[in-house]
Structure 1
Amino acid sequence: MHLTYARISKYPYNFRRITGLSIETFEQLLVLKVRPLFEELESSKLRHGRMSHLPTMEDKLLCVLMYYRTYISHVFLGYLFNLHNANICRLLRKMEPLLAKKISIKKDRSLTSDKVLRILADVSEQPTQRPSKKQKKSYSGKKKRHTIKTEIVIREDGKILSVSKSHKGKEHDFKIRKGEKLLPKESLKLADSGYQGWQKLQSNVMIPYKKSRKRPLTKEQKEHNRKLSSIRMKVEHKIREIKVFKIMSEVYRNFQNKYNLRFNIIAGMINFKHAF
Structure 2
Amino acid sequence: MAGVLRADRVWVETFTGLRVTQFARLLRVVRERGGNGTLRGRPWSLLLAERVLMVAVYYRTNLTMRQLGPLFGVSSSAVCRVIQRLGPLLALDPLSRPADAADRLWIVDGTLIPVRDRGVAASSRNYRFSANVQVIVDADSQLVIAAARPVPGTTADAHAWRASGLSELCQGVTVLGDGACLNCGIGVPHRKRPGRPLLRGEEDGNAEHRRVRARVEHVIGRLKNYKILRDCRQRGNGLHHAVQAVAHMHNLALAP
- TM-score normalised by the chain length of structure 1: 0.79
Counterpart residue identity of residue 110, structure 2: V
Structure 1 segments unaligned to the other structure (5+ residues): none
- Among 210, 216, 228, which residue is 1:235 paired with? 216
Find out whether 1:144 has 2:127 as its counterpart: yes
**Considering only CA atoms, is the larger Rg found in Structure 1 or Structure 2?**
1
Residue 211 of structure 1: CA displacement? Answer: 4.1
Cα deviations across residues 104-138 of structure 1 (Å, max 9, x unaligned)?
23141x3466455322111121123383x89xx71
CA distance in 2, matches of 1:130, 1:36: 31
Find out whether 1:187 has 2:184 as its counterpart: no
CA distance in 1, matches of 2:54, 2:175: 38
Is 1:119–1:154's contact at 8 Å kept on the other side of the alignment?
yes
CA distance in 2, matches of 1:40, 1:2: 19
- Among 56, 61, 64, which residue is 2:55 paired with? 64
- Superposed CA RMSD in Å reads 2.8
Counterpart residue identity of residue 52, structure 1: W
Is 1:105–1:267's contact at 8 Å kept on the other side of the alignment?
no
Residue 155 of structure 1: CA displacement? Answer: 2.3
Is 1:20–1:244's contact at 8 Å kept on the other side of the alignment?
no
1:50 maps to 42
Cα deviations across residues 41-62 of structure 1 (Å, max 9, x unaligned)?
35xx8xx8435332x2221111
Identical-residue share of aligned pairs (%)? 23
CA distance in 2, matches of 1:145, 1:209: 31
Is 1:3–1:80's contact at 8 Å kept on the other side of the alignment?
no
CA distance in 2, matches of 1:254, 1:28: 25
RCO comparison, higher one (Cα < 8 Å, 6+): 2
Residue 144 of structure 1: CA displacement? Answer: 2.8
Is 2:177–2:187's contact at 8 Å kept on the other side of the alignment?
yes
Residue 247 of structure 1: CA displacement? Answer: 0.4
1:105 maps to 93
Residue 40 of structure 1: CA displacement? Answer: 6.1
2:156 maps to 172
CA distance in 2, matches of 1:95, 1:4: 22
2:16 maps to 19
Q: Where does 1:85-164 land on structure 2 (aligned, <5 Å)?
A: 85-100=76-91, 104-108=92-96, 110-111=97-98, 114=101, 116-129=103-116, 131=118, 138-140=122-124, 142-157=125-140, 158-164=142-148
The secondary structure found in structure 1 opposite 2:237 is helix
Residue 215 of structure 1: CA displacement? Answer: 4.6
CA distance in 2, matches of 1:39, 1:139: 36
Structure 2 segments unaligned to the other structure (5+ residues): none
Number of aligned positions between the proteins: 253
Cα gap change, 1:27 to 1:5, in 2 (>3 Å): farther
Cα deviations across residues 66-114 of structure 1 (Å, max 9, x unaligned)?
10000010001112112211010111122223333xxx23141x34664
The secondary structure found in structure 2 opposite 1:41 is coil
Counterpart residue identity of residue 6, structure 1: R
Is 2:35–2:48's contact at 8 Å kept on the other side of the alignment?
no
Is 1:123–1:151's contact at 8 Å kept on the other side of the alignment?
yes
- Among 19, 25, 28, which residue is 1:28 paired with? 25
Is 2:36–2:48's contact at 8 Å kept on the other side of the alignment?
no
- TM-score normalised by the chain length of structure 2: 0.85
